[in-house]
Structure 1
Amino acid sequence: MKNEPGRPAQLITKKFAKELHSNFMKYRASIIAKYIKKEDANAVWFSVEELENYIHYIKSKGAKKGFAVNGIRFYFGVYPDEKKYADKAGLMTLFLTATGKRIRPVALNSVQTFALTRENNDSDDQNDNNEDIQSIEPMNYGSIGRPPSLLY
């Protein structure tokens, strides 16, 4: 294979992945299920195509907005317990947001200046240059692993 990628440093063993998932089910999922009185999602799936498209989108949109996109932060969330969310209502989800560093200033009016100031201060990782880029839309709506729970 031409240009074969290097082995990622963050890979873990299948055994450790099973341990992590088992710990989640034992120490988090059981508590959540007691509290919400139903089994919650325990996994989220996005296709490779969806992820590649999102990566392309955030890099392109980030560049137009003056950012060097350097990553994606994954947040946990819970769908509102409303009818319009159907079988996902009240269940846990995962959504993705672009992170990056501002590489060039953009022309600003007073409203945009406020937004930019807020945008650059909304991250716990400001000093790491991995701040959430609030002006690029997060991605959600993967397929959730919900009852019956998926087992790793």
Structure 2
Amino acid sequence: MKKEPGRPTQLITKKIGKELHSNFMKYRASIIAKYIKKEDANAIWFSLEELENYIYYIKTQGEKTGYKVNGIRFYFGVYPEEKKYAEKAGLMTLFLTATGKKNRINPIGSNDIHTFALVREDENADISTIEPMNYGSIGRPPALLY
């Protein structure tokens, strides 16, 4: 039987969430809007199904390509000012990429001698062989208040 996960340690209060969002609107969104001359996205939404599918996808692709997937990194981006992006053109987005470490297997009887410094890899490196995920909903209007 699968063990239920415990309570996440990174939870914050709604009050802190409101403060963080308020600070973003005050110190970043207003500057961005002034610079790009339009209201920018300040929240991105993905459905649980989309996120669960992506997690399944990166785990299985990681196994197939020899990686131990251990997380997801979230990057900020901006859509190009092109017609094909319609109402998202020029607006911020958030995209996800798998992180992890390449599995290393030294064959039995291998004469390779490695020092710790030579085999050490970043535990949380982006995995470039697995596609990132994008195209969450920015909502209407783009800026939402938390």
- Report 1:1-152 matches (<5 A): 3-104=3-104, 128-145=122-139, 147=141, 149-152=143-146
Tell me, yes or no, if the aligned pair for 1:78 and 1:90 is still in contact at 8 Å. yes
Q: Spell out, residue by residue over 1:68-103, the C-alpha distance to the aligned partner (whole angstroms, 9 max, x if none).
A: 000000000000011110000000000000000001
Counting matched residue pairs gives 131
The CA distance in 2 between the partners of 1:21 and 1:63, in whole Å, is 37
**2:42·2:142 contact (CA, 8 Å) conserved in 1?**
no
| Identical amino acids, percent of aligned pairs | 81
Give the Cα–Cα distance (whole angstroms) in 2 for the partners of residues 78 and 20 of structure 1. Answer: 21
Runs of 4+ in 1 over 2 A off after TM superposition: 2-5, 145-148
Deviation of residue 147 (structure 1)?
Answer: 2.6
**Whole-angstrom distance in 1 between the partners of 2:93 and 2:64:** 29
Cα distance in structure 2, aligned partners of 1:80 and 1:148: 16
C-alpha distance in structure 2 between counterparts of 1:25 and 1:48, whole Å: 26
- Give the whole-Å Cα distance in 2 for the aligned partners of 1:147 and 1:94: 17
* Distance in 1 separating the partners of 2:43 and 2:76: 11
Q: CA RMSD in A?
A: 1.7
CA distance in 2, matches of 1:135, 1:144: 27
1:145–1:65 distance in 2 versus 1, CA, 3 Å? same
**TM, length-normalised to structure 1:** 0.81
Given that residues 40 and 91 in structure 1 are in contact (C-alpha distance below 8 angstroms), is that contact kept between their aligned partners in structure 2?
Answer: yes
Deviation at 1:149, TM superposition (A): 1.7
- Decide which structure has the larger Cα Rg and report it: 2
Gaps of at least 5 residues in structure 1 are 106-125
Q: Which has the higher helix share?
A: 1
Residues 25 and 69 of structure 1: CA distance in aligned 2, closer, same or farther (over 3 Å): same
- Report SS of the residue matched to 1:144: coil
Separation in 1, partners of 2:24, 2:90: 19
